[in-house]
Amino acid sequence: MSFVDGDFVKIEYDAWRAVDNKLVYTTDEKKAEENGIHYKDVKYGPQLIVIGKSNTIQGLDKAIKSMSVNESKKIELDPKDAFGERDPNLVRIMPLSDFRARNINPQVGMQVDLDGIIAVIRSVNSGRVVVDANHPLAGEKLIYNVKVVEKLDKDEDRVKALLEASSLAPKTLKVEAEVVRMQFGGDVDKNADFFVNKSTAIASIFRYMDKINKVFSEEEYDRPKGNTGGADKAQAQA
């Protein structure tokens, strides 16, 4: 069995740089810890791929498309099929004073956000800072060990996976025809990250699921402890 564009699959993988066999990505949290590449904000475990929708690198998407559930494969990717060739135009020299004005103390290897562009500081010398906006793995040949662990066929499972990818777990979720309805309980922290993640998830639902035309999201708020005036709960419709 192979997959077609629009199929939802979950994969596990390890990825190494071919030049030095250094592990650079993995879906295995323990392996990430053992290799010094563990990040607390990364969600480990099987990752969602939507075939043919450009939500993973081109070479990996193409290889997975010809695989089957429970199949494992070793894949070697040239830079053009991974994170692209290095572009010298994305490397520039900035005055140190620009970083001082941003309250940044530049250090070699630091990632910085320069007006929406993520760059890595390559050197700091004589009042000048060299920044590189190429992807850290641009120009690298990569080797992947990838396994397809699941194919999601039900619309509700697909929506749930898109929500999980944005770190969201609704109290209830229902998908009927072209409508998604979800409710978030009072135990969910409604902070800024929640609203950004919800917006991202809804955009992903519309992007990857052509049949969905409406999304209803309901939030439940519990009254803070110690505040006893009025009703015990309030609900907001968004």
In this predicted model, what pLDDT tens digit does every residue of 127-146 receive, in sequence order?
Answer: 999 999 999 999 999 999 99
Mean model confidence pLDDT for the chain: 92
C-alpha dist (Å) from residue 80 to 13, 58, 74, 76, 145: 20, 9, 18, 12, 19
Please give the pLDDT value at position 227.
67
Residue 226: what pLDDT? 73
Q: Decide: helix, strand or coil at residue 33.
A: helix
Across residues 227-234, what is the average pLDDT?
Answer: 55
Q: Alpha-carbon distance 211 to 155, whole Å?
A: 10
pLDDT digits (tens, 9 = 90+) for 166-181: 999 999 999 998 999 9
C-alpha torsion angle, residues 229, 230, 235, 236 (rounded to 10): -80
Do the beta carbons of residue 141 and residue 19 sit within 8 Å? Answer: yes
Provide CB contacts within 8 A for 30, sequence distance 6+: none
Q: At what angle do helices 192-208 and 155-165 cross, to 10 degrees?
A: 140
- Over residues 191-227, the pLDDT tens digits come to 999 999 999 999 999 999 999 999 999 999 988 877 6
What's the pTM?
A: 0.82
Contacts of 155-159 with C-beta under 8 Å, sequence gap 24+, read 155/209, 155/211, 155/212, 157/8, 158/8, 158/208, 158/209, 159/205, 159/209, 159/212
End-to-end CA distance of the chain: 41
How much is the pLDDT for 146?
97
Pull the structure tokens for residue 125.
């010398």
